[in-house]
Structure 1
Amino acid sequence: MGFWQTVKADMKAATGHSRLGRLPTVFLFNPPFAAVFLHRVAAHLYRSRLRRLGIAIWGWNVTRTSCHINLEAEIGPGLLLPHPAAIVIGSGVRIGTNVTIYQSVTLGRVASSPIYPAVEDGAVLYTGAVVIGPVTIGRSATIGASSVVIKDVPDGGVVVGNPGRVIRIATPTDALTAQAAARP
């Protein structure tokens, strides 16, 4: 997917519409979209000849939003950060499409492994969740608030606690309902 198609998907996730003509207004008045958009621009420039400009925009975004998304993280379209404050996403993290991440979530590695987490399509990570190490969060999984995840989570898994444990596997209907509730 190209840059502008990804931006349209992010805008649709944050606002419910995807017309690029609305981009300036949405950027100015929608902090969840602005944080993701600035990351997309910075990462795009970082991978081009304008690497230093990308780093400058990244730094401005971190200062502006308190949201630290590493420029080398792989993030699919439709990312929604309803409250982008204090989110940390490490360099090797892979995030699928239509993922929702709430405030104060950390996605990082552990000292004993250089491998970062992978978050598959449609997952929702609630406030304060910590996902660290070589783990995979399955499609449409839900990570509860303040959970610490150090093991793989199956598709549709609902995880709570510290350490995180799967309390149930959601049905496809449950996953769609949870995802719809997480989106505007």
Structure 2
Amino acid sequence: MKFRQAVKSDFMKSYKIFTLSNSIKFLINPATRVTLFIRCAQFSPGFLFWIFRNFLITFFNIDFGKGCKIGYGLRVPHPIGIVFGGGSIIGNNFTIYQNVTIGNKRDYYPKINDNVTIYCNSVVVGKIVVEDNVIIGALSFVDKSLDMGTIVR
């Protein structure tokens, strides 16, 4: 995965078409701007990672752990209070809402596959696999693997 492709996929997930006005919206809108900073943190080496991580914490209250991998098409509609654990692996077309934690349980992190949406105030932890096309509803606690197409309420 490359930085430029990841940022372009995030842009296309939000705006579908590349125009000058959409490019300006992308840079002004906090929901899309935060995806850019997450990508910067994800692809930055050493010292630069810590700068972008601190920027995310300070301005968006988003904690991005070193080593977290996120696939193409990230969407963060309400960018506040999110935790991405350092060992988490997240697939393509991922949507995450406010106050969600993707973290460790007994030193293991989750693997989240493609086309997953996690709604507000949810927690996903542990050595689990969240399969494709899963929706995790608001106020959910997930510490067990979820099969393809599951909806957690």
TM-score by shorter chain over 0.5: yes
Query: 2-side partners of 1:14 and 1:62: how far apart?
Result: 23
Which has the higher Rg, Structure 1 or Structure 2? 1
What residue in structure 2 maps to residue 181 of structure 1? none
| Letter matched to residue 123 of structure 2 | V
Match for 1:117 among 110, 117, 120? 110
Please give the per-residue CA displacement for 1:110-137, whole angstroms capped at 9, x wherever unaligned.
Answer: 1xx2210111100110111111111111
Percent identical: 33
Give distance in 2, aligned partners of 1:114 and 1:54: 22
Once the two structures are TM-superposed, the CA of residue 53 in structure 1 deviates from its matched residue by: 2.4
> Is structure 2 residue 35 aligned with structure 1 residue 36?
yes
Alpha-carbon deviation of 1:27?
4.3
* Count of matched residue positions in the alignment of Structure 1 and Structure 2: 153
Answer yes or no: is the 8 Å Cα contact 1:120–1:139 preserved in 2. yes
Letter in structure 1 aligned against 2:7: V
**Does structure 1 retain, via aligned residues, the 8 Å contact 2:42–2:69?**
no
Unaligned runs of 5+ in 1: 161-184
Tell me the residue number matched to 2:13: 13
Q: How does 1:42-53 map to 2 (within 5 A)?
A: 42-46=41-45, 51-53=46-48
User: CA 1:75–1:153 in structure 2 vs 1: closer, same or farther (change >3 Å)?
Assistant: same
Amino acid at match of 1:14: S
Give, in angstroms, the shift of residue 18 of structure 1.
Answer: 4.4
1:142 Cα deviation after fit: 0.6
Q: How much is the aligned-residue C-alpha RMSD, in angstroms?
A: 1.7
Q: Distance in 1 between matches of 2:69 and 2:7?
A: 14
Tell me, yes or no, if the aligned pair for 1:26 and 1:34 is still in contact at 8 Å. Answer: no
Q: For each residue in 1:63-119, what CA deviation from the matched residue of structure 2 results, as whole angstroms up to 9, or x when unmatched?
A: 111111223101001010100100111000010000111111111111xx2210111
For normalisation by structure 1, the TM-score amounts to 0.77
The whole-number CA distance in structure 1 between the counterparts of 2:148 and 2:5 is 26
Contact 1:129/1:148 (CA < 8 Å) preserved in 2?
A: yes
Which residue of 55, 60, 73 maps to 2:55? 60
User: Could you state the TM-score of these two structures normalised by the residue count of structure 2?
Assistant: 0.91
Name the SS for the 1:131 alignment partner: strand
TM superposition shift of 1:23: 8.0
From 99, 116, 136, the equivalent of 1:143 is 136
Q: Is the 8 A contact 2:41 2:64 kept in 1?
A: no
